């Protein structure tokens, strides 16, 4: 897994076992993911039981929630509520920090 955007200490965290590359930091009732997506990555519409917030650190995210697409760039925060249907796409290589809170 290659994510040079993140500092060495972050790259020493356990790898996330999921459909994208990330390092995972455990916290009570929350997963913290340091994720990266190659250009051209698409994540199909889905939902999950966690409440998610994230901040883009590099690149851009196109997030579709309930049929409305929004663009997020570096420094922008986004939110997805529990059980809310959403999809994502990344036209350029993108990194972000995601917080998955138990709902």
pLDDT tens-digit map of 26-47: 888 999 999 999 999 999 999 9
As a whole number of Å, the end-to-end CA separation of the chain is 30
The DSSP H or E segment spanning 92 is none
What is the pLDDT of the chain when averaged over all its residues?
92
pLDDT of residue 4: 60
CA distance 103 to 50: 5
In degrees and rounded to multiples of 5, residue 98 shows phi and psi of: -115, 145
Instruction: Judge residue 13's burial from the number of C-beta atoms within 10 Å of its C-beta, 0-12 exposed, 13-18 middle, 19 or more buried.
Output: middle
Q: Where are the domains of the chain?
A: 8-102
pTM: 0.82
Work out the angle at residue 25's Cα, subtended by the Cα atoms of residues 10 and 4, and round it to the nearest 5 degrees.
25
CATH for 8-102, among 3.40.190.10, 2.102.10.10, 1.10.3720.10, 2.60.120.10? 2.60.120.10
């Amino acid at each position: 897994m290659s994510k040079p955007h993140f500092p060495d200490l972050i790259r020493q965290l356990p790898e996330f076992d999921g459909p994208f590359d990330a390092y995972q930091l455990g916290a009570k009732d929350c997963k913290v993911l340091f994720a990266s997506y190659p250009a051209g990555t698409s994540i199909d519409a889905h939902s999950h039981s966690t409440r998610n917030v994230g901040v883009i650190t590099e690149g851009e995210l196109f997030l579709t929630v309930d049929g409305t697409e929004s663009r997020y760039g570096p420094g922008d925060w986004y939110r997805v509520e529990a059980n809310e249907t959403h999809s994502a796409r990344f036209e350029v290589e993108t990194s972000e920090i995601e917080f998955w809170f138990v709902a």
